[in-house]
Amino acid sequence: KQEVTQIPAALSVPEGENLVLNCSFTDSAIYNLQWFRQDPGKGLTSLLLIQSSQREQTSGRLNASLDKSSGRSTLYIAASQPGDSATYLCAVLGSNYKLTFGKGTLLTVNP
């Protein structure tokens, strides 16, 4: 059974800092890994999708890496802003086509 773990559970940083969120998964037989953000009371917004054959993806200030063999992904956020405050979720798409989610990292960026 696929298990996804996200560390840390919560993170508070001052504005302007670079930060890294971690995601690990137990079964490396995945199609892809997707990072989402969730604002309070809202649905999930897709940030980045990394295919199993890829090592990283970039979108603006966000960079996600994937090491499938070790079951790890990181989301790097450069020059953080208060508007980045949200819960960040990673999810892996397994060979059974199910998306398995971690419990998320609650990020607070302080002005």
Partner 1 sequence: GAGVSQSPSNKVTEKGKDVELRCDPISGHTALYWYRQSLGQGLEFLIYFQGNSAPDKSGLPSDRFSAERTGGSVSTLTIQRTQQEDSAVYLCASRTGPNTEAFFGQGTRLTVV
Phi and psi angles of residue 82, each rounded to the nearest 5 degrees, phi first:
-55, -30
Q: Which of 22, 28, 32, 85 binds partner 1 (CB under 8 A)?
A: 32
| CB neighbour class for 56 (10 Å; exposed up to 12, middle 13-18, buried from 19) | middle
58 near partner 1 (CB under 8 A): no
* Comparison of 80 and 107: residue with beta carbon closer to partner 1: 107
Distance of alpha carbon 10 from alpha carbon 7, whole angstroms: 8
Asked if 86 touches partner 1 (CB under 8 A), the answer is: no
Residue 88 touching partner 1 (CB under 8 A): no
42 forms part of the interface with partner 1 (CB under 8 A): yes
Site for partner 1 in 90-109 (CB under 8 A): 91, 93, 96-104
**Residue 34 burial by Cβ neighbours in a 10 Å radius (0-12, 13-18, 19+):** buried
What residues line the site for partner 1 (CB under 8 A)?
31-32, 34, 36, 41-46, 49, 51, 89, 91, 93, 96-104
